[in-house]
């Protein structure tokens, strides 16, 4: 079994394996004063586990659960705060945690587990120190663009009659979504969509050989927040889409759940804009204006 070696963990001197995690952490700390606490905790985790695939698998699974449900809690509190209700786009409540958990333990678990061996095969690094914040930000931005493209086409295909009826209909149970509903979908759909989230970094590392597992984690957290927030049902004056006009946000996906058509992309608005699949009153208005302008141009000829 591949075990992170001493160099990956930043060790230079002699190292005898202590029994407890804290013991390993102290050993790593002694030899690595230049590393920050997260890097030391990370290195100690791999040294202590002695099985890298298992170490990554457990860490990934726990991280996914903590951030998924953790990100939902603020939305549940907001739902119970009358003062913020005026920002809610639609109103309905939830009974879906069990299906979400079921797909976490069935279809997502194997992908989480297989990620480490596949990505390290293509040259993913998981040693310390971590990459610079700029490199991480660049990789994460690339993954957002890649995933959004995959999501647009797959989601659009899932709205095709038979595929919709057999797979995607379940996700549309809630015409007014809420955070927890982000991963409320057929296990097959969860698996196919997760392929965009997990497959994008794998494709990237297979082409460039440049990826760190910590960047992957930051990307997963970013993508989880994007998915949960876009299902939150809230469009605040301070929501990201008002700063970045090409960011989809809750307003974009909420309309998709309300009308069942258009707005197929996940993070950005450009695919729907370019291929004229935007939905909602604003998009309809723009479409009317375009038609009028074309008509006027024709008359002027
Ligand atoms: Zn849909
Ligand atoms: Zn949705």
Q: Which two tokens stand for residue 284?
A: 């309809």
Rounded CA separation 123/145 (Å): 22
pLDDT value, residue 1: 34
Q: What is the pLDDT of residues 145-194, one digit of tens each?
A: 999 999 999 999 999 999 999 999 999 988 888 877 888 899 999 999 99
Rounded CA separation 150/284 (Å): 25
User: How close is the Cα of 152 to the center of ligand 1, in Å?
Assistant: 10
Q: What is the pLDDT of residues 199-253, one digit of tens each?
A: 999 999 999 999 999 999 999 999 999 999 999 988 999 899 999 999 999 999 9
User: How close is the Cα of 53 to the center of ligand 1, in Å?
Assistant: 34
- Lowest mean pLDDT across 96-110, 260-274, 277-291: 96-110
212 φ, ψ (degrees, to nearest 5): -115, 140
Rounded CA separation 58/243 (Å): 36
User: How close is the Cα of 299 to the center of ligand 2, in Å?
Assistant: 42
User: How close is the Cα of 259 to the center of ligand 1, in Å?
Assistant: 9
User: How close is the Cα of 182 to the center of ligand 2, in Å?
Assistant: 6
Q: Which ligand is nearest to the CA of 176?
A: 2
User: How close is the Cα of 122 to the center of ligand 1, in Å?
Assistant: 33
Q: Which ligand is nearest to the CA of 168?
A: 1
Q: What is the pLDDT of residues 123-151, one digit of tens each?
A: 999 999 999 999 999 999 999 999 999 99
User: How close is the Cα of 253 to the center of ligand 2, in Å?
Assistant: 6
Q: Which ligand is nearest to the CA of 266?
A: 2
Q: At what angle do helices 187-208 and 213-230 cross, to 10 degrees?
A: 140
So where are the chain's domains? 1-50, 53-300
Q: Which ligand is nearest to the CA of 264?
A: 1
* 40 Cβ contact list (under 8 Å, min separation 6): 25, 28, 29, 32, 128
DSSP string, 230-280: HTS-B--TTSGGGTSTTB-HHHHHHHHHHHSSS---SSBSHHHHHTT---S
pTM (2 decimals)?
0.85
User: How close is the Cα of 185 to the center of ligand 1, in Å?
Assistant: 10
The length of the chain in residues reads: 301
Q: Which two tokens stand for residue 60?
A: 């990934």
């Amino acid at each position: 079994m591949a075990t992170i070696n001493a160099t990956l963990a930043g060790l230079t001197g002699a190292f005898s394996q202590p029994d407890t995690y804290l013991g390993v952490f102290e050993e790593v700390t002694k030899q690595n004063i230049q590393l920050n606490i997260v890097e030391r905790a990370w290195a100690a985790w791999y040294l202590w586990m002695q099985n890298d695939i298992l170490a990554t698998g457990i860490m990934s699974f726990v991280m996914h659960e903590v951030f998924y449900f953790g990100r939902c809690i603020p939305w549940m509190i907001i739902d119970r705060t009358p003062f913020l209700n005026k920002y809610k786009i639609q109103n309905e409540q939830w009974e879906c945690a069990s299906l979400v958990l079921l797909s976490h333990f069935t279809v997502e678990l194997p992908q989480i587990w297989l990620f480490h061996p596949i990505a390290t095969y293509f040259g993913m690094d998981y040693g310390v120190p971590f990459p610079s914040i700029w490199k991480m930000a660049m990789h994460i931005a690339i993954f957002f663009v890649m995933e959004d493209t995959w999501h647009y086409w797959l989601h659009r295909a899932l709205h095709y009659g038979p595929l919709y009826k057999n797979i995607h209909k379940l996700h549309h149970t809630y015409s007014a979504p809420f955070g927890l509903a982000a991963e409320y979908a057929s296990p097959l759909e969860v698996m196919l969509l997760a392929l965009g989230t997990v497959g994008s970094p794998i494709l990237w590392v297979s082409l460039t050989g440049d990826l760190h597992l910590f960047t992957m984690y930051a990307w997963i957290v970013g993508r989880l927040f994007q998915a949960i927030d876009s299902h939150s049902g809230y469009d605040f004056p301070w929501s990201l889409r008002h700063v970045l006009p090409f960011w989809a946000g809750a307003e974009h996906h909420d309309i998709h759940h309300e009308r069942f058509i258009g707005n197929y992309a996940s993070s950005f608005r450009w695919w729907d804009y370019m291929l004229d699949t935007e939905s909602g009153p604003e998009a309809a208005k723009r479409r009317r204006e375009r038609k009028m302008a074309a008509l006027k141009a024709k008359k002027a000829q």
